[in-house]
Amino acid sequence: MSSFAEEYAALQSELDQVLQNCSRPAEEVKILAVSKTFPAEAIREAYNCGVRCFGENKVQELSEKAEMLPKDIQWHFIGHLQSNKVAKAVQYASWIHSVDSLKLLNKLDRIAGEMNKKPFILLEVNSGEESKSGVSYADLPELAKAAASAENLSFAGLMTMAPLTDDRREWLNAFAKLAAARGELEKMLSIKLPELSMGMSGDFAEAVVCGSTIIRIGSRLFGNRNYNL
């Protein structure tokens, strides 16, 4: 097994190569290290390599790790957010990638206001029939309109997961579709939506070609997870 440092360096140079090939500047894409299921020591090792942005998909796990680890870590919540866990998510995560309903959006806005916080949010869009999470493209404009006017949330962009298939063309279609939707929403709402959170260990190259600005990388950096989440 190679160390986190080696994996991180290898990932960065692959990412640089992809960026060069599609003539995008290197600063445009951030690597979010998805540390779900891995212990705090694994995060500490990554932290010691200079990584400051970590992604978690369970609120309880996020809060336990955040309490144990340095306070300058920027936590991103990337999992399904249950309504009764919103306050705890807002307490620990400054980014929430998985807002996919008006009900969740409104609750986040209200609770963030009560807590005097203003988290960055991304709207998660559903790219495949097999997935339950994410707003449909049909309902996205209405949700985006509400997100843009939420007082206590910084609406920063869109997130998706590629459909579960080995067909690269379907990944590319899904990523290109999200990028196009971002452009349409920017026009419709006259706002800037700088972030596109798309691409994981197996498909980040395709996502970057389509304009991703945040790639969410778990197994490629930390190794295989013991259980599937």
Ligand X SMILES: *Cc1c(COP(=O)(O)O)cnc(C)c1O
**DSSP states of 45-61:** HHHHTT--EEEES-HHH
Q: Does 217 bind ligand X (CB under 6 A)?
A: yes
Span from 105-113, 140-148, 170-178, 197-205 in contact with ligand X (CB under 6 A): 197-205
Q: Does 220 bind ligand X (CB under 6 A)?
A: yes
Single-letter amino acid code for the residue at 181: A
Contact set for ligand X, span 32-51 (CB under 6 A): 34, 36
Span from 10-18, 61-69, 178-186, 213-221 in contact with ligand X (CB under 6 A): 213-221
31: part of which helix (H) or strand (E)?
Answer: strand 30-34
CB 95 within 8 A of CB 74: yes
Smallest CA-to-CA distance from 102 within 53, 157, 142, 42 is with 142
CB 105 within 8 A of CB 147: yes
Q: Does 15 bind ligand X (CB under 6 A)?
A: no
Nearest residue to ligand X by CB is: 218
Binding mask 52-71 for ligand X (x = CB under 6 A): -----x--------------
Contacts with ligand X by CB under 6 A lie at 34, 36, 57, 78-79, 161, 200-202, 216-220
